Structure 1
Amino acid sequence: MSASKGVLLLAVLLLIAAIGGRGETVPCKVKDAEQGKVCVCTADYCDYLENPTLTDDTEFALISSSKQGLRFATSHGHFGTEDTYTVQDYVEPVPEAKNKTIFSRLLDQALASAFTLESRESTITRFVTLKVNRSKTYQTMTGFGGSYTGAVSYLVDNFKQPELADHLYKSFYAEEGLGFNLMRISIGGCDFDLGAWAYAEEEDNTMLDGMDELDERDVMRVGHIKRLVEVSGIKNLRIKGAAWSAPPWMKTNNRWTGFGRLQKQYYQTWADYHLKWVKLMEDNGLPIWAISTGNEPLNGIFFMYFVKFMSMGWTPQTQAIWLNDHLGPTIRNSEFKDIILFGNDDQRYSFPHWFKMMNYTRPNSVDYLDGLSLHWYWDEIFGSSLIDETTEYAPDKLLIVSESCIGDKPWQRSAPVLGSWERAEKYTRAFLENIKHGFHAWIDWNIILDEEGGPNYVDNTVDAPVIANTTTNEEFYKQPMFYAMGHFSKLVPEGSIRVDAVPSNVNLDCVAFLRPDKKIAAVLFNSGRADTNITVVDSERGQFTVNVPAKSIHTLLYS
């Protein structure tokens, strides 16, 4: 085929794509931002991707995102083909000229694409072989999710159009969105609220009067989450709760923060508080899947000079006593006896010492825990060997990363960086590392924040996968981090089993899963500055080769 005919055919295909297409798939509305590209959502427009379908056992689908600007671009091919498939990177659109026809504009785009393809042929290409062995299996995945804090509730409540909130909910939890199935919410308040708060704040309210009715702040949040469930179509939202602090009157310092622990005389009261909260949520239409023993217990012991937000200190010894003698029996002897109990909810550096000391204080107290909960904030300093030691000490526990965001470190910008691909890569590396070390689930921090990284009542601002435009309250921006998480969550449903996936060299990082429908989903990460030819070799299906652009993330799906 001549070059001119090829360009003409490409223009025709672009025209067809512009006129028709699957109803659920809506492309990203690209906007140039501070450090890259974001996707803009308004009340009447937001990007979605219908999950790809396969027509036969030889077909594969590849969803691609890149630093240059691809966002969930989908391509298809077949195993057994000798030719190399190519994922074409994002091409900047040609500025529209006045009085040009639709066809001429599409032809200009096709010509630009053709020249881009030629220029890519002259760049360096690296090569890697990925061997997928579906017979060698590891952990079963529970899912992925985000957190619905008071800050999220405040921002959503200020949207000018309810349709914008619906787009936010669907973007994360609908099948055509990221397909999330997990959510974390605070029991009472957290730092991402307009102020510190808890249930039963009245002094000496040991009977916990008033906990049969929602606090006004939870009235709004619960209403939002129920709307999220309705519009996203999610069938089984799994909600995990965690308390940042007891009411001050229960604590040794009578304050929301600082060096303060739970007074021993209120150990049972605090256990009853958790049970009452679970029942309160259930009665208001939000069944709770799991609770933890408390958010970041070391904040109120060692880090009180740095942590200004709600916190309550525990040592592993005191938490073992509370769990073994109070919380554990209270939950297990209640109507909510099957609720999942997570321990720690703190940083990697506390693993596995925390659980060893708990068992030393109260033998077998860790048996009350169904899972171990981790925050990712110091993972780059404290290695994954601590996770391996923990799983060896406490096998068969559900491992979950329950909080992650960027901007918490002194050397990081403590605010959103719109369009940052580097932050998306940080997420991708962390997901890959933790999943390869046995984690079953991941819950990110706030699903949306404002342009400053809040609201946060102590200005503990950070970044988020979606940023609201609070100048207009009529649009929000999907960050590259949003799509990075989606490459894991979208095609890896609950019940997927991790299988062996070994690249031949460092040019590729990856993880693969056998889904409940027996299809394989694999996340492929090319962090290098060169295009990479990936030859995928499956133990049952055969092989094919695909060329992917530099700085790109992909999700591969095949039977």
Structure 2
Amino acid sequence: MNTLFRSLIIIGLFCSCSTENSSSTETDSSSPSENSQTDFVITGRKSVVYTTASNSELRLANTNTLSFEAAAQPLENEVSVFVNPHVKFQSLVGIGGAITDASAEVFAKLPPEKQAEFLKAYYDINDGIGYSLCRTPIHSCDFSSESYTYIEEGDAELSTFSIDHDKAYKIPMIKRAIEAAGGELMLYASPWSPPAFMKDNNNMLQGGKLLPEYADAWALYYTKFIKAYEAEGMPIWGITIQNEPMATQRWESCIYTAEEERDFLKNHLGPTMEREGLGDKNIIVWDHNRDLINHRANVIFEDPDAAKYAWGVGFHWYETWTGGTPMFENLGIIKDAFPDVNLMFTEGCQEGFTQERYQFWAHAERYGRSMINDFNQGTRGWTDWNILLDQNGGPNHVGNFCFAPIHGDTDSQELIYTPSYYYIGHFSKFIRPGASRVSTASSRSPILSTSFLNENGSLITVVMNQSDQDIEYKLYVDSEAVTVTIPAHAIQTHVVG
């Protein structure tokens, strides 16, 4: 067991939280709702503070319990975080990560005691970080040991459809994850490419497009996947139409223009899902970066015949490949234009794996920065990429090796917990499905923050310090406040019960 995680268990730093385990699937509006002042009363409450900090042993550590007291007018020379729990925005559907072929193959190579530790670390709400959702690929992606589909090549009738391939590793792991999460885990699925014969380049790799004559067969393929997985006891919450539909990759990929995705949704996938009795499943469009997301949303959601089938827009964080910064504001523009459209972060990971950077703090801060900003722009769910990879950042059949929050060294049989795991945990452990985001603002740019009100009445505020200095700040809720210091390059969660 990794030293830091062992110390957490031994000295009991993980909290025991009373939480709701429900998952909300309704459509939310971005417009705030103001409830009466009786819905949340801060007087008499305390904040239990959990901290993860660089250059320290603090990892989700219980570092303080503070009592709220009447507060004076904030001053300009003070650092403040202001929370208004009476102004509510979107509800949370969940936070989690993807179970890929790579994750499942590495998991299968671990000894039983490490498998149990791993499942508890991710899915247990008391002794872990309480993941509540999961994404999984529909047949192969780059994080598979090989390319494969669920049918024999050329079978346009789908008569040979079988998920037997997934029964070796992926399905057993998903079932154990569901069990570890308490019997309920929001599961959605994404394809990286149709079978080769259905594409104009006759190749699952290197982009290409879906041939029009196979649009109905490919739409039916999604429904067969959903029914096959549900027959195995794994309920499917929904699907995304296509992973990264504007990226020609050296791995499984397929290109859709905005108009092509719109038309596939309204003329093929949506009607087929309804005809097959799956009209209640949620369909997510785009599933790519924040840079082109507004064009895709405009094209699809301005067409009512397409929009009626779509739950929302999925997005990734890789637009920074150009050298720019994350385009968080594009998410808010979607919520302004289409208030009833839901936002879901469907994938993000740190690229360019090297073992020397297992404990590289900037990777964790990338997670914290994205999660806070994405939630503050209206995002309802947040999904990390592979939940587990090996000591080489794979397996990956095209050499696209990346980081995961936890790595399993299949030689030493040890688990390696990266700082990213703990940063994600500051959200997933405490902010539970069904929680409503509430109004939050910081008075200084080095301090990022977001807040949610759980269904059990607890108020959760996450505060991140991006600077090189320790910062003392006041957390204001209504007319009361607590004063706390956050270390340099640290993240804190306030649990106000």
1:71 matches 2:59: yes
Residues 499, 222 of structure 1: CA spacing in aligned structure 2 closer, same or farther, 3 A cutoff? same
In 1: Cα distance, 2:10 partner to 2:486 partner = 29
* Residue number in structure 2 paired with 1:325: 267
Matching residue within 449, 454, 460 for 2:394: 454
Does the aligned pair in 1 maintain the 2:101–2:169 contact within 8 Å? no
Larger CA deviation: 385-394 vs 145-154:
385-394
Q: Are residues 414 and 322 of structure 1, via their aligned partners in 2, closer, same or farther at CA, if it must alter by over 3 Å? A: farther
Counterpart of 2:37 in structure 1 is none
Report the 3-state secondary structure (helix = DSSP H, G, I; strand = E; otherwise coil) of the residue aligned with 1:50: coil
1:511 pairs, out of 432, 447, 450, with 450
Distance 1:347 1:29 in 2: 36
Gaps of 5+ in 1: 1-26, 31-38, 84-125
- 1:216, 1:81 → 2: CA distance? 59
What is the aligned partner in structure 2 of residue 207 from structure 1? 157
Mapping of residues 133-212 of structure 1, within 5 Å: 133-159=84-110, 161-176=111-126, 177-203=128-154, 205-211=155-161
Which residue number in structure 1 is paired with residue 495 of structure 2? Answer: 557
What are the within-5 Å matches in structure 2 for residues 383-422 of structure 1?
Answer: 383-407=327-351, 417-422=357-362
Secondary structure at the aligned position of 1:195 is classed as: coil
Which of 240, 247, 254 is the aligned partner of 2:195? 247
3-state secondary structure, aligned to 1:256: coil
Residue 347 (1) aligns with residue 289 (2): yes
RMSD: 2.6
Cross-structure match for 1:545: 483
Tell me how far 1:47 sits from its aligned partner. 8.4
Letter paired with 1:345: D
Tell me which residue corresponds to 1:373.
314
Q: CA deviation at 1:132?
A: 1.4
- The residue number in structure 2 matching 1:20 is none
Report the 3-state secondary structure (helix = DSSP H, G, I; strand = E; otherwise coil) of the residue aligned with 2:169: helix
Q: Distance in 2 between matches of 1:150 and 1:456?
A: 9
> Which digits, 9 at most, give the CA deviation of each residue in 1:250-278, with x for residues without a partner?
11111111241111111000011000100
Find the counterpart in structure 1 of residue 369 from structure 2.
429
* TM-superposition CA deviations, 1:33-69 (whole Å, max 9, x none): xxxxxx469xx99987232579x94322111100023
Could you say if the C-alpha distance between residues 73 and 135 of structure 1 is closer, same or farther in structure 2, counting changes exceeding 3 Å? same
Q: Kindly indicate whether residue 3 of structure 2 is the aligned counterpart of residue 29 of structure 1.
A: yes
Q: 1:395 to 1:48 in 2, by over 3 A?
A: same
Contact 1:324 1:368 in 2 (8 A): yes
After superposition, the C-alpha distances for 1:64-112 in whole angstroms (9 at most, x for unaligned) are 10002310110342324699xxxxxxxxxxxxxxxxxxxxxxxxxxxxx
For 2:407, the equivalent position in structure 1 comes to: 467
The one of 426, 443, 446 equivalent to 2:383 is: 443
Partner SS, residue 512 of structure 1: strand
Contact 2:351 2:401 in 1 (8 A): yes
The answer on whether the counterparts of 2:13 and 2:61 sit within 8 Å (CA) in structure 1 is: no
1:142-164 deviation digits (Å, cap 9, x = unpaired): 110100001011101111x2121
Maintained 8 Å contact 1:138/1:498: yes
What is the CA-CA distance between 1:381 and the residue it aligns to? 3.6
Does structure 2 conserve the Cα–Cα contact (< 8 Å) formed by 1:309 and 1:458? Answer: yes
Aligned to 2:218: 270
Partner of 1:489: 428
Counterpart residue number, 2:22: none
Partner of 2:46: 59
Q: CA deviation at 1:359?
A: 5.7
Secondary structure of the structure 2 residue equivalent to 1:146: strand
Distance (whole Å) between structure 2 residues aligned to residue 149 and residue 59 of structure 1: 41
Q: Deviations over 1:216-267 (max 9, x none)?
A: 234421111112222x242421111001111111111111112411111110
Question: How far did 1:524 drift?
Answer: 0.8
- Structure-1 residue corresponding to 2:23: none
Contact 1:297 1:344 in 2 (8 A): yes
The structural deviation recorded for 1:28 is 7.0
C-alpha contact 1:501 1:511 (8 A) present in aligned 2: yes
Shift of 1:492: 0.2
Distance 2:63 2:170 in 1: 39
SS at match of 2:153: coil
Structure showing greater Rg: 1
Residues in 1 aligned to 2:89 and 2:301: alpha-carbon distance in whole angstroms? 27
Relative distance call for 1:40 and 1:314 in structure 2 (3 A) is: farther
> For 1:454 and 1:28, how far apart are their aligned partners in 2?
20
- Alpha carbons of 1:40 and 1:207: their partners in 2 closer, same or farther (altered >3 Å)? farther
Q: Could you tell me how far apart the structure 1 residues matched to 2:280 and 2:222 are?
A: 14
SS in structure 1 of the partner of residue 318 of structure 2: coil
* Counterpart Cα distance in 2 of 1:71 and 1:220: 31
Cα pair distance change 1:196/1:342, threshold 3 Å: same
TM-score (norm 2): 0.88
User: What code does the residue aligned with 2:488 have?
Assistant: A
Cα 1:53/1:445, change in 2 over 3 Å: closer
1:511 and 1:40 map into 2 onto residues whose CA distance is 29
Distance 1:427 1:550 in 2: 16
Worse overlay, 379-388 or 64-73: 379-388
* TM-score (norm: length of structure 1): 0.78
The total of aligned residue pairs comes to 464
Q: Which residue of 2 aligns with 1:6?
A: none
Task: Please name the residue that 2:232 is paired with.
Answer: 284
**Is the Cα contact below 8 Å between 1:454 and 1:462 reproduced in 2?**
yes
The question of whether the paired residues in 1 share the 8 Å contact of 2:387 and 2:405 is answered with: yes
Deviations 1:365-391 (A, max 9, x none): 122101110011115545233222222
List structure 1 segments (4+ residues) > 6 angstroms apart after TM superposition.
44-48
